[in-house]
Amino acid sequence: MIRKAEKSDYEEMDLVFRESAKALCIRNYETSQVLDWIGQPWAERFIESANKGNDQFVKISNGKVVCFAELNIKNLKLNSIFVLPTYIGKGIGQEMLNFIFSEAQKAGLQYLDLDASLNAVNFYMRNGFKKYGISKFTTQNGVVLDSVQMRCVLGT
């Protein structure tokens, strides 16, 4: 089940973020960059994100958060999708992305942009996103990471 995130989900979302980044991003970034990025457990990052206008969604499986996404309708931007590493390859990220596409279309968006981490580029390309630039992405805690700017034109 995918639903809007609640404040009570934030600790589990933080765990999903930290575990996913540690397991997947370490392939494309320096270990020190990833460890600085994930930092210490900090569920408050999601309060800050929500206060910036980001809609947050969670996928629940067996009573726990296994995936989350952040979407900013106003900025036409998919901020992130993170999947718990033990659920990678089971279609959960795909399910969440399809849900995000649906939410964006309901809001009348014609396209979605994102700054993809280097490890996620192929996933997004398989799902209709096209590269249009290379950038430096600054995380909430100030770590600068190489990223790929991507856009997906949404169907009607």
Q: What is the C-alpha separation between 7 and 55, in angstroms, rounded?
A: 12
| pLDDT at 40 exceeding the cut of 90 | no
CATH number of this structure's domain 2-109, picked from the four choices 1.10.3720.10, 3.50.50.60, 1.10.10.60, 3.40.630.30: 3.40.630.30
Q: Give the model's confidence band at 44: pLDDT under 50 very low, under 70 low, under 90 confident, else very high.
A: confident
Percent of the residues in the chain that have a pLDDT greater than 70, as a whole number: 99
Between the CA atoms of 96, 118, 133 and 146, what dihedral angle is there, to the nearest 10 degrees? 120
Reduced to 3 states (helix: H, G, I; strand: E, B; else coil), residue 8 is helix
Helix ranges (DSSP H) in the chain: 10-24, 31-38, 44-51, 92-106, 121-126
Q: Give the model's confidence band at 35: pLDDT under 50 very low, under 70 low, under 90 confident, else very high.
A: confident
| pLDDT at 26 exceeding the cut of 90 | no
Residues 103-118: what's their mean pLDDT? 96
| Domains of the chain by residue range | 2-109
Question: Which pLDDT belongs to residue 156?
Answer: 53
Q: What is the C-alpha separation between 68 and 39, in angstroms, rounded?
A: 19
Q: Give the model's confidence band at 143: pLDDT under 50 very low, under 70 low, under 90 confident, else very high.
A: confident
Task: Provide the mean pLDDT of the chain.
Answer: 93
* Per-residue model confidence as pLDDT tens digits over 62-107: 999 999 999 999 999 999 999 999 999 999 999 999 999 999 999 9
